[in-house]
Each structure stands twice: as C-alpha cells, then as structure tokens.
Amino acid sequence: MKPTKDQLLWMYENMVLSRRFEEAIEKVYMEGKTPAFNMANGPIPGEMHLSNGQEPCAVGVCVHLTDEDIVTATHRPHHQAIAKGVDLRGMTAEIFGKSTGLSGGRGGHMHIFDADVNFSCSGIIGESCGPACGAALSRKMQGKPGVAVAFLGEGAANQGAFHEALNLAGVWKLPVVFVIEDNSWGISVPKSEATAVERNDVRAAGYGMPGHHIPGNDPEAIFDIAGQAIERARAGEGPTLIEIETYRLAGHFMGDAEQYRPEGEKDALFEKDPIPKMRARLLADGTATEAELDKIETAAGEKVEDAIGYARDSAPARDEDALTAVFV
C-alpha cells in the first residue's frame, strides 16, 4: 500500500505535532524540579514517559483509522493519542492536573481517556491487549463497523495478558491489530535478555494470525503493512500482529540517568531521528516543498503553544472532585 500525498503530509504533520508537544511538556515538566529532581514538584508532577523517536509507529497505523475505530494505548501514550485525534487541549490540561482536563485531573499522563475518539490507555504493562479484543468483539456482536488497535511495547509481549489476548483474537477472528513498538528496552532490560525469540512477529504463528516485522522505523513501510492489516480486519478476516523496530530517544521516564545504554547508542539513534529523515525524503522525492513543510511545522508549534497556554490558564482541579466520578 502506498500513501497519497495527503496521507504523507498528514503523517508528517502528526509526527511533528507529537514531537513539538513533547518538547513543550519536557520543558514544563522540569519547572520546579531543579536543582533537586523531585517528581512531586512542578506544574506537571509524577512519572513522565516520552515517546520521541517512536512517532512513526503511531502515525503509520492511525492514518488508516477513523474516530469510530478504537485504540488502546500504553504508559507512553502521547504520540498514539495525538495520531488518534485525542483533543490536544483536554489532554494537555489533564497532564497539568486541571479541571478542564479530559478526566478533570483524575487520570494524568498514563491515563488518557477520550471517548469521542475511542481512545484509552493503561499504565499496566500488557493491558492494552485484552480491552482491544473486547472492543473488537463488541463491534462484531453489535454488527457495527470498526477495528481495534492495541499498542504495546516489546517488553509487554512477555506478559500473560498479551498471549491470552492474541489467542482470543485468533480463535474468535476478531477485527483487531496488535502493534508492538519495539524500542529494544523495557526500562533498563534489553529485549535480548527478556525475550526468548529475536522477533515477536514469529509469535503470531502460535495464535493463528499473520505476523509482520517492520524494520527501520519507517513511516511509509508502517503505512503499508498496517494498512493491509486494518483492511484485513475490516473485511472480517481476523487479527494481525505487527512488530515495528523503533527508537526511544529519551530515557524510560524523565529523570532516568540511562546508564544502562551502551556508549554511543543515543548519538546513533539521534542520527536516525525519523522526523528530519522524513522531511528530507519528502523534499527529495518532490512530494512537498520547503514552504509546505515549514507551514506544517509552524502550525504544529502554534497548536502546541495554544494547548499549553490553555492548560496553564485553566482552573486547577477542585479538591473535592477527587471524591466524584468513582461511579457514573
């Protein structure tokens, strides 16, 4: 499958938007956390998992989805949320713990829920898989269109939940696609020391579904394979497992000293940064002009600035609201 110009530009736009968003979040996150780094301080407290470097996985998959399709995401959800069209202002305000946040400040960065675009996530590793199966089953039972995509990390592919969900999807032929973002690290543990097989796509065979491996963190290659998998799911032909080789340019969470990384790894990864790479490609093959791409980048910056401003200016969550919304 080949992307149209519009699709290519959409992917680029959302990659840039996600990157600018995280650059802004990173800056705000550090407010109040220097010189002593204490997670509890600053306008954005708690853990912060950035997804920079992994943007191609989100855009190459979500470009094929509509608001009605379902995405279940992870503890590292920003790029996935942005590509799925989650309300940026609401998400930013949620990360700031404000009353105007998607969940009124109750969830935070690991618990982004936007029902309008069928997006949810969990901070428990592997827990994106089961809910995606259930949503896919629900669509099937209701006779409604739609596919579900579960994002997960390569570390999550060693959880029982992953294997149980894949079997369920396989035996019930559910319209679901499992997308593993293999950034080769589960916090400090390398894939090679945690996973019995070199590539997770081979595990698909155990659950009666096709498996694909996509090297190179390449948005167009992801577009192609993900497009086929989603088409297959829409046609009622069942689930697919995809593993994408990608790169985590940041630490596991902010504050991670990353001493476990081999020397030089980070520099090498930054050289493969997918955003400048895609920009160069779009220009080189004449898909877009400098002016077009500059415009996209400027617009992304403005959108982020607007969202951060909105979040900053919003009223804080009300203390007493902590006690509401336990039940509907």
Partner 1 sequence: MLDQQTNERRLTIARAMAEAMAQEMRRDPSVFVMGEDIGPFGGIFGNTRGLIDEFGKDRVRDTPISETGFISAAVGAAMDGMRPVVELMFVDFFGVCFDAIYNQMAKNTYFSGGNSSVPMVLMTSTGGGYSDAGQHSQCLYGTFAHLPGMKVVSPSNAYDAKGLMTAAIREDNPVVYMYHKGLQGMGWLGTEPGATVHTPEEDYVVEIGKAKVVREGSDVTLVGLAMGVHNALKAADKLAEDGVSAEVVDLVSLVPLDRETVRASVAKTGRLIVVDEDYHSYGVTGEIIATVCEHDIGKLKAAPARVAFPDVPIPYARNMEQFCLPNADKIVAAYRAMQKAEG
Ligand X SMILES: Cc1ncc(C[n+]2csc(CCOP(=O)(O)OP(=O)(O)O)c2C)c(N)n1
Residues binding ligand X (CB under 6 A): 75-76, 123-125, 152-156, 183, 185-187, 252
19: left (phi over 0), alpha (psi -120 to 50) or beta: alpha
Output the smallest distance, CB 166 to partner 1, in A: 15
CB 92 within 8 A of CB 303: no
Long-range contacts for 198-203 (Cβ within 8 Å, ≥24 apart)?
199/243, 200/154, 200/157, 200/241, 200/243, 201/241, 201/242, 201/243, 203/157, 203/163, 203/166, 203/241
Output the smallest distance, CB 134 to ligand X, in A: 19
Output the smallest distance, CB 2 to ligand X, in A: 29
Q: Which does 175 bind (CB under 5 to 8 A by kind): partner 1, ligand X, none?
A: none
Nearer to partner 1 (CB atom), residue 4 or residue 259: 259
Nearer to ligand X (CB atom), residue 152 or residue 222: 152
Nearer to ligand X (CB atom), residue 170 or residue 186: 186
Q: What is the contact surface with partner 1 in residues (CB under 8 A)? A: 36-41, 45-47, 94, 97-98, 101, 105-111, 122-127, 155-156, 158-161, 186-189, 193-195, 255, 259-260, 316-323, 326
Q: Tokens for 291, please give them.
A: 């002016």
- Angstrom CA distances, 137 to 120, 134, 169, 183, stand at 17, 5, 9, 29
Q: Which does 47 bind (CB under 5 to 8 A by kind): ligand X, partner 1, none?
A: partner 1
Closest-CA residue to 51 (of 249, 267, 259, 193):
249
Identity of the amino acid at 60: G
Output the smallest distance, CB 194 to ligand X, in A: 9
Q: Which does 76 bind (CB under 5 to 8 A by kind): partner 1, ligand X, none?
A: ligand X
Q: Which does 322 bind (CB under 5 to 8 A by kind): partner 1, ligand X, none?
A: partner 1
Q: Which does 89 bind (CB under 5 to 8 A by kind): partner 1, ligand X, none?
A: none
Element (H, E) at 214: strand 211-214
Q: Tokens for 266, please give them.
A: 């980070």
